[in-house]
Amino acid sequence: MSSRLQRRKWWSHLLTVLSGLCVAIVLVPLVSVIYTAARIGGPALSLSFLTSNPPEACTPSPGITCAVGGIGPAIQGTVIVVGVAAAIAVPIGLAAAIFAAEYPTRWLGRAISFTADVLTGLPSIIAGVFIYLLLVIYDPAIVFSVISGALALSVIMIPIVTRTTELSLRTVPQELREAALALGIPKWRTTLQIVVATALPGVLTGTLLAVMRAAGEAAPLLFTLFGSRLGFEGFNRPAQALPLLIYNFAESGAENWRELAWGASLILILMILVTSVLSRLVIARMVRRMRGS
Amino acid sequence: MRCVGLTAGRSRGSGGGDSPIPAVTDSEAGTTGTAPSLRRSPGRRPIPDLLFFGLVTLGAVVLLVLIFSIVIILASQSELSFRTYGLGYLVGTRWIVPTSASPFQVYGAVPFIVGTLLTSGIALLLGLPLALGSAIFVATQAPNFLRGTLGTAVELLAAIPSVVYGFWGIYVVVPLMRTTVDPALKQYLGWTGAFGGPVTGDGVLTSGIILAIMIVPTISAVSRETLFAVPASQREAALSLGATSWETTRIASLPYARIGIFGAIVLGLGRALGETMAVTMTIGNRDAIPTSLLSQGQTISSLIANELTSNSGPLQYSAVVEAGLILLLISLLVNVAARLLLWRVSGGRRVVLAQ
């Protein structure tokens, strides 16, 4: 009997170790990606790297030193295109979420939740194809432009904003709504000033998640933002973005371009990781303050 | 065993997550809101309320219209290809783009459907055990102080952009496959016939491995959430019967969470099917049915990335869009299935993920 127990305990320990090993194996690529980006891209980083233009293609050989250049246009383009995309996606996502969470007896509310869930699984390249086809038909002049890229990214962002917002609206206690309505506050003010305000940390997380996701997407921008060697030239002109720069320079023969792409990867990873950590901290603080008051 | 299964079933029924709170309906809300001003008739709602409702509805309608317009636009633009090949497109095994030397062209989707299914299959095969193992470790085995950290670390894998995985694949995975893994597979498993052909380093297997890394955080995080959602009483009951830690997981947690875990797997599959950049950069982009796991190929998404704007005539353009339509329909199907499973297990409460 006791030997049987021992065997069961052994078995249990073994499986604990095995599952722990799974975690370790899973984290190897994470470490390897960050290490590789830091090793190759790290030395290129400097303040001017963030602002100057990409250099001419060049591979160092004796007697030739290559200009390092920078990723200024790509950073500028990413900020602008993601900003415009957020300006399109956040109001729509917020509205859809309020509809789904605050008017829930209608069948349409459930349909909205479900559609948002399914749309988050939309392959990101399909978002790009959709906007590309749409603009080829209706306004070929801006097929390759900042607006086009922003539209494609907003297709990806809308469902993310919708579902995280809806989820946090649903965590607001029903009593709050009832109390506000009982005081004679109209429904729209109750929703905006009581419910949405209470759920604000969740709404902000949703927006940040969407922004982070959009900032790293290259596939939807291939046929929309298109890429460019220059800085921002207007909303109806192509522009560069960090993920596009990485894709375009990754397989280039020029060594300094590949270094540039690794530098851009490092910046992109840092941007996303820092945003993710910061948003967690800010949200934790907001939640604490709300509980404190 | 049977006893545990029974309780699991019963408490799922009663405590199935947060059932939606009884909601104040529109008309109720309206009347409550207008109650103090008795001059208004009870059924009518103030103008600002109607306006607000209108705006909010507009947002909801945009979301609904979006999904339909994506399907319709892709379908309308693939009309030429559909009229030319009909259903033959789905079984056509050749994809030949006209060049200035030879104007001959023919388009069939099989190479890309096979490429997509193969890479996603490899990704699931390799990623699933790791994802489940890590989910089980974080949810049930890890000491408390490690739980949050490890969970976050696994989720950070999902935060790294696809194009960076692709770049990393070119730099780290492809050379590793070319020099070490592929020759070893050829030598020891060559007799299976699955590892023939020239060793290039990139190809179906390489892309599948990178996809596996990318879907692990999705499967792991959703599975972990469903494992966390198992009521403590389930585990305590098993522990009090003298079950070891692993037995508790096996007889109390896993049966309770199995539908959610299945949903997580389908969700991961959906992600693998549509993934573009990492695959495009590592699969070799060859428009033919892969002859072995080491051979180069093309998935639907990498085909679109490479050839949508290659200007090889209206028929080629239309054929690429039709491939996109197939990918769209497959991924909608997979995602609907995943969400139905996850909704069923959570009673409408959903797991939020970066993805």
A64 part of a folded domain: no
In a domain, B168, yes or no: yes
Q: Are B237 and B305 in contact (CB under 8 A)?
A: no
In a domain, A18, yes or no: no
Q: Pick from A105, A124, A222: which is nearest to B25 by CB?
A: A105
How far apart, in whole angstroms, are the C-alpha atoms of residue A223 and residue A66?
A: 31
Q: Confirm whether A186 is domain-assigned.
A: yes
Cα(A79)–Cα(B17) distance, rounded to whole angstroms? 39
8 Å CB contact of A36 and B33: no
The type of residue at A93 is: G
Residue A13 lies in a domain: no
Predicted local distance difference test score (pLDDT) of residue A64? 78
Residue B284, token pair as written in the block: 């070799």
Identity of residue B254:
L
| Nearest by CB: A23 against B59, B74, B150 | B150
Q: Is the residue at B143 inside a domain?
A: yes
- List of chain A residues with pLDDT < 70: 1, 104-106, 280, 282-293
Q: Which residues neighbour B251 within 8 Å (Cβ) at sequence distance 6 or greater?
A: B1, B4, B238, B243
Residue of B19, B21, B31, B66 for testing the chain A interface, max A β-carbons within 10 Å: B66
- Point out the residue among B134, B141, B354 whose CB comes nearest to the CB of A16: B141
> How many domains does one find in chain B?
2
Q: Are residues B198 and B247 in the same domain?
A: yes
Minimum-distance CB partner of B170 among A29, A223, A250: A250
A31 within a domain of the structure (yes/no): no
Q: How do residues B65-104 score in pLDDT, each as one tens digit?
A: 999 999 999 999 999 999 999 999 999 999 999 988 888 9
Q: Is residue A72 part of a domain?
A: no
Residue A184's CATH number: 1.10.3720.10
The 3-class secondary structure across A195-237, one letter per residue, is HHHHCHHHHHHHHHHHHHHHHCCCHHHCCCCECCCCCCCCCCC
Same domain assignment for residues B10 and B121: no
Token pair, residue B140, equals 């049930």
Q: Tell me, yes or no, whether B90 lies in a domain.
A: yes
- The torsion angle over the Cα atoms of residues A186, A187, A189 and A193, rounded to 10 degrees, is 130
pLDDT of residue A96: 94
Number of folded domains in chain A? 1
pLDDT at B154: 87
Q: Would the pTM count as exceeding 0.90?
A: no
**Identity of the amino acid at A15:** L
* B149 CB within 8 Å of a chain A CB: no
Residues B90 and B236 in one domain: yes
- Contact between chains at A130 and B73 (C-beta distance less than 8 A): yes
Residue B66 lies in a domain: no
Asked if residue B235 and residue B108 are part of one domain, the reply reads yes
Q: Do residues B113 and B2 share a domain?
A: no
Contact A268 B57 (CB under 8 A): no
* CATH value at residue B194: 1.10.3720.10
pLDDT of res. A105: 65
Residues B41 and B83 in one domain: no
Residues spanned by the domain of B202: 79-346
Residues B16 and B133 in one domain: no
The C-alpha atoms of residue A110 and residue A116 are separated, in whole angstroms, by 10
CB contact under 8 A, B154 and A29: no
ipTM for this prediction: 0.92
* Chain B residue closest in CA terms to A10: B244
User: Half-sphere exposure of residue B275, counting CA atoms within 13 Å on the CB side?
Assistant: 35
* Cβ within 8 Å of A, B 198-227: 213, 216, 220
- Residue A291 confidence (pLDDT): 60
Per the structure, the complete domain to which residue A189 belongs is given by 90-292
Residue-level pLDDT at B322: 96
Distances (CA, A) of A18 to A54, B36, B136, B143, B209: 47, 65, 10, 15, 20
| Claim to verify: residue B123 and residue B181 sit in the same structural domain | yes
Across the interface, whether the CB atoms of B133 and A21 are under 8 A apart is answered yes
Q: Check A116 against B63: CB less than 8 A apart.
A: yes
Closest Cα partner for B82 from B313, B327, B323? B323
Predicted local confidence at residue B119, as pLDDT? 97
Please indicate, yes or no, if residue A221 is contained in any of the structural domains.
Answer: yes
Contacts of A108 in chain B (CB under 8 A): 60, 64
Q: How far apart are CA B251 and CA B2, in angstroms?
A: 9
Interface of B with A in 154-173 (CB under 8 A): 154, 156-157, 159-168, 170-172
Residue B191 sits in the same domain as residue B249:
yes
Residues B17 and B160 reside in one and the same domain = no
Contact (CB<8Å) A95/B37: no
**CB-CB contact of A77 with A277 (8 Å):** no
The vertex-B121 CA angle with B113 and A26, nearest 5°, equals 135
* Cα separation values, B74 from A270, B38, B179, B318, Å: 36, 54, 42, 9
User: Closest-CA residue in chain A for B142?
Assistant: A20
B285 close contact with A: CB closer than 8 A = no
The answer to whether residues B10 and B117 belong to one domain is: no
Asked if B65 is an interface residue toward chain A (Cβ–Cβ < 8 A), one would say no
Q: Do B231 and B166 share a domain, yes or no? A: yes
Q: Residue B29: how many CB atoms within 10 A of its CB?
A: 22
Distance CA B331, CA B303 (A): 16
Using the beta-carbon criterion (under 8 Å), do B164 and A26 form an inter-chain contact? no
Cα of B99 to nearest chain A Cα, Å? 22
The answer to whether residue A9 sits within a structural domain is no
Which residues on B lie below 8 Å from A37 (Cβ)? 164, 168
**CB contact (8 A) between residue B331 and residue A37:** no
Task: Give the chain B residue nearest A94 (alpha carbons).
Answer: B59
Q: Which residue stretches of chain B have pLDDT < 50?
A: 1-41, 348-355
Collect all residues of chain B within an 8 Å Cβ-Cβ radius of residue A251.
170, 281
Helix runs in chain B, H state only? 2-15, 26-34, 47-77, 79-85, 88-91, 110-136, 144-159, 162-168, 174-176, 182-189, 204-228, 232-240, 245-248, 254-274, 277-282, 300-307, 314-346
CB–CB contact A95 B58 (8 Å):
yes
The pair of three-digit structure tokens given for residue A150, joined into one six-digit string: 């922003």
